[in-house]
Amino acid sequence: MSAMESARSVWLGRRRTRHIVEVEARPSDTAGPALGRYGAWPAGLVILLAGACLGASAIDGFDFPDAETGERYQRLITEFRCPKCLNESIASSGAPIAVDLRRTVRRLMEEGATDDAIRDHLQERYGDFVLYDPPFKPSTWFLWFSPLILLVTVVFVFRRVARLGAVDEPAPADLDRARRLLRDAD
């Protein structure tokens, strides 16, 4: 079959016939390899998305004097929760507040602050919410004890349901009486 013609099956009622259809040559058909049915736009879309992913992966461009400082920075920014995002660390969040917090951590590290001083600074400014591991104090007791309370509640409910669902065995005297009644009924 040549580029100028193609075979095409057409259903006409119950009878199937073959028709030869002439196709005009277009410049895209003769210029280089075929790009497929959809043309070049899917390839462009893939390139665009790949570029967006590369841009998103380079959130911070901080240079550290040594690898130990860089590891310390990465460890610290994964310890803090983004105040705007739901359960996302400031390391993985792209929110403007998370970018600001990463810069604050970097600045405090350059000023020589210890890890505890950095934690205290962010906790003072944003509260206990910013910490993934909140301190053990009266205002966070429910947070710390809620798993235990939930476990005790589940065990209590299961035991209660099991006790209510259990069938007591009839007493031997009741069984004898039931047998006598059944015999008398016959």
Average predicted confidence (pLDDT) for the chain: 76
* CB distance 127 to 140 below 8 Å: no
- Band of the pLDDT at 10, cuts 50, 70, 90? very low
Q: Which domains does the chain have, with CATH numbers?
A: 60-155 (1.10.8.640)
Q: What spatial distance separates the first Cα and last Cα of the chain, rounded to whole Å?
A: 92
Q: What is the pTM of this model?
A: 0.47
Average pLDDT over residues 122-139: 81
Average pLDDT over residues 89-112: 91
Distances, alpha carbon 142 to alpha carbons 134, 135, 152, 155, 178, in Å: 12, 12, 14, 19, 55
Which amino acid would we find at residue 157? V
The answer to which of 7-11, 35-39, 176-180 has the lowest mean pLDDT is: 7-11
pLDDT tens per residue across span 54-96: 555 444 567 778 888 889 999 999 988 888 887 888 988 889 9
Residue 8 has pLDDT above 90, yes or no: no
